[in-house]
Amino acid sequence: MNTHLITSFMYTTNKNMPRIRRDAVAFAEKHGVRTAARYFGFSPGAIVAWKKKAKVYGFNPVPTHSVKLKRHPKQLSEELVWKIFHTR
């Protein structure tokens, strides 16, 4: 079995993932991060990141974080765009 193919998917559309993250965090609180990572099949770093997010959300499902860029790195500022727009 090629494990590279399994671990290469970073984003999921699984509707149950927020609840799985919450359960993994609760399990990690009780049994430890590494044990939870082995039990749920995720990396210890992922469990630690979910624990940080769970502090914000409480015992609610931890939502999926979008990896979409909020803006382009070379994007012009809105102020400059309006100046260009009004001069034309």
Whether 73 and 27 have beta carbons less than 8 Å apart is answered as: no
Q: Indicate whether 8 belongs to any domain.
A: no
What pLDDT is recorded for position 56? 84
Whole-number Å distance between alpha carbons of 62 and 46: 12
Instruction: Confirm if 62 and 53 have CB atoms less than 8 A apart.
Output: yes
Predicted confidence at residue 78, as pLDDT, reads 87
Has residue 3 been placed in a domain?
Answer: no
Is residue 23 included in any domain, yes or no? yes
Total number of domains constituting the chain: 1
Domain that holds residue 38: 16-62
pLDDT at position 2, please? Answer: 47
What token pair was written down for 69?
């860029």
pLDDT at 65 over 80: no
| Angle formed by the axes of helices 44-57 and 17-31, nearest 10° | 100
For 9, list phi and psi in degrees, rounded to 5. Answer: -85, 115
Least confident of 47-51, 61-65, 81-85: 61-65
Tell me the whole-structure pTM to 2 decimals.
0.62
For residue 28, the model assigns a pLDDT of 95
Look at residue 69 in the predicted model and tell me its pLDDT: 74
In a domain, 31, yes or no: yes
Residue 86 lies in a domain: no
Domain-embedded: residue 33 = yes
